[in-house]
Structure 1
Amino acid sequence: MTGSIVVGYTATAAGADALALGVRLARAADARLHVVIVLPLEGTRSKAVAPERAYEDLLAGQARSWLEDAVTAIPAGLAHSAHVRFAESFGEGLLSAADEFGAVLLVLGAANGGALRRHRLGSVASELLHTSTVPVALAPAGLSGEADAGLPRITVATGTRPGAERLLQSAVRLAAASGAAVRLVSLMPLDVPAGLNTGAITLVQDAHVDQVLAAARDRLPAETEVEVLQAGGDSIEDAVAQLDWLPGEVVLVGSSRLAQPRRLFLGSTAAKMLRELPVPMIVVPRTGAEAGDR
């Protein structure tokens, strides 16, 4: 993973969580960090507000003040910059910033009202998960209160549907850049065709695990620790609840097969995982050129 990371920042607890995750990933992957506040364009503000340039300048000045406070939390030595942008929506502004800075990743915090260490999608995250052409990282609530644990391990939710190959490529790039261990969790029980008997499912599962492990070991640095697990439990939620999680760990999932080329779409499996995950999730586009190759 090379290039830059864009953090969608707000002067809220969610903004602090997003910044904490952006810092963690940028340090691990030696990427430049861009902290971005998006403000509404004049035409999108309430009609009760006078459409004067003075007000826009005042708003931008307040945003710059928030950014000055925010970047004090960024460790010395980490390349970063802070930006104020105007757009019709927060999501549109972040997508424009990602294109401007050649970002390989967009980072967001959880929506207000979520439980501690859990995810809650707001309107901005939902918009980006349907329109972004680069991976989107979602920080759970309360992440900023966690001591910096680096990036010890990357868990990859693997299956056999379209996009699995690209997901593995993204995991390999991030692991190679960060030195993190890789854990591949096979979701094969949820991907096999309906109607297969138990014996057939077991054979398909074993073959899939062997195939994924071989592909990962072939591409990762020799010193990278790799393990493969089969999903346990009767559901995605059960499988996630049964897994152990390291401080600083992240999960990579692929877009739904319904996603448009080079765009994200959070599928039902990833959405179920998100409800139970206590760690950040990175959603990777299903097809198209790898963002890290820019």
Structure 2
Amino acid sequence: MTVVAGIGPDGRGAGAVHLAGRIAASTRQDLLLCCVVPDAWGRASATSGADADWRRHLEAVAAEAIAEARTVPPPEVRVDAVVRTARSVPRELVAQAERAEATMLVVGSAGDARMGHIALGSVSTWLLHRSSLPVVIAPRSFWSEPTDRLERLVLAIDSDDGAQAALDSTTLLARHAGVGVALATFGVRRLPAFPDGGGRRADDAVYDVWREGIDALHDRAAALVEAAGVQVTDRFVVVADSWRGAVDKVHWREGDLLVMTSSREGPVRRIFLGSNAPRIMGQVPVPVITLPRR
């Protein structure tokens, strides 16, 4: 089994290498470093001229980035590397990952993300709408020591459909990593402020019904996780007046990996984020893995 980490020819994506190395060491997988040199003009067959000279320069820089990246993963992880030239960087990353029969594809966050948080760039956005493989995104400036390992998977669920689709993959990853699973549901609740209090009372009734359904969902999911031989370490139902407020109520661990599922509206065997997933993803201080819809 192989984890693929995508890095840029200029060395961008170091966080992805650190995270991929941690995951590979935790799950006893190999690591493939994949650097794609963009070919904006679609002339990969050109062997002379200014465009070819520039491409050779980028390939040389990419080779240096790969050499440096090889020093990052824990020493017990077997590391291979490829450098490719392609018009579409994310499409080539997926092609290389599929060729390697990878279990997941790890990429870094956009450069404008808050330190320690995630922001989607052009590559990660493409992957999170079209990839057939699980995609892991490292927060900006993510760093991992050679001895660091995954400590807990936090599975975000809000419906039976989403939970059932993710449980098999989550418990399999948890068993390979030797970690437990926490169940988490995030919600935003903005209370109406009507003078007579009627709106608040109506909202309380709706919230109570929703909370009962979520608690029952967690009971069912916990039973399935434990039946698969994985410990349920925590159960969170966190609600605030903003996504950031809800996320901040969770006691995150340094070795956490948040597991998110694709929207039920997306195509089968592809990742397709719903409207809330990017909002949660942008607030959490830990890496995120998104699973394709099954």
1:151-209 CA deviation, whole Å, 9 max, x = no partner? Answer: 1111110121533212111110111001112111134889xxx9973443343233222
Give yes or no for contact 2:188–2:243 (8 Å, CA) kept in 1.
no
Q: 1:234 to 1:218 in 2, by over 3 A?
A: farther
18-27 or 146-155, larger mean C-alpha shift: 146-155
| Aligned position for 2:250 | 243
| Aligned position for 1:39 | 37
Please state whether the residue corresponding to 2:112 is helix, strand or coil.
coil
CA distance in 2 between partners of 1:263 and 1:196 (Å): 37
118-127 or 206-215, larger mean C-alpha shift: 206-215
| Aligned position for 2:19 | 21
Structure 2 unaligned spans of 5+: 190-202
Coordinate RMSD, CA, aligned: 2.7
1:115-136 CA deviation, whole Å, 9 max, x = no partner? Answer: 2111111101011111100010
Give yes or no for contact 1:14–1:111 (8 Å, CA) kept in 2.
no
Moved over 6 A (4+): none
Q: 1:207 to 1:74 in 2, by over 3 A?
A: closer
How many residues are paired up? 279
Q: 1:66 to 1:211 in 2, by over 3 A?
A: same
Give TM-score, length-normalised by structure 1. 0.85
Give yes or no for contact 2:22–2:73 (8 Å, CA) kept in 1.
no
Structure 1 unaligned spans of 5+: 288-294
State whether structure 2 residue 238 is matched by structure 1 residue 228.
no
Structure 1 residue 225, shift from structure 2 partner = 4.8
Q: Which structure has the larger Rg over C-alpha atoms? A: 2
State whether structure 2 residue 185 is matched by structure 1 residue 186.
yes
1:272-293 CA deviation, whole Å, 9 max, x = no partner? Answer: 1112111000010111xxxxxx
Please state whether the residue corresponding to 2:282 is helix, strand or coil.
helix
Q: Percent identity?
A: 29
CA distance in 2 between partners of 1:226 and 1:235 (Å): 25
CA distance in 1 between partners of 2:3 and 2:155 (Å): 20
Structure 1 residue 52, shift from structure 2 partner = 6.0
Please state whether the residue corresponding to 2:136 is helix, strand or coil.
strand
Please state whether the residue corresponding to 2:113 is helix, strand or coil.
coil
The aligned amino acid for 1:200 is V
Give TM-score, length-normalised by structure 2. 0.85
Matches within 5 A, 1:58-137: 58-137=57-136
| Aligned position for 2:288 | 281
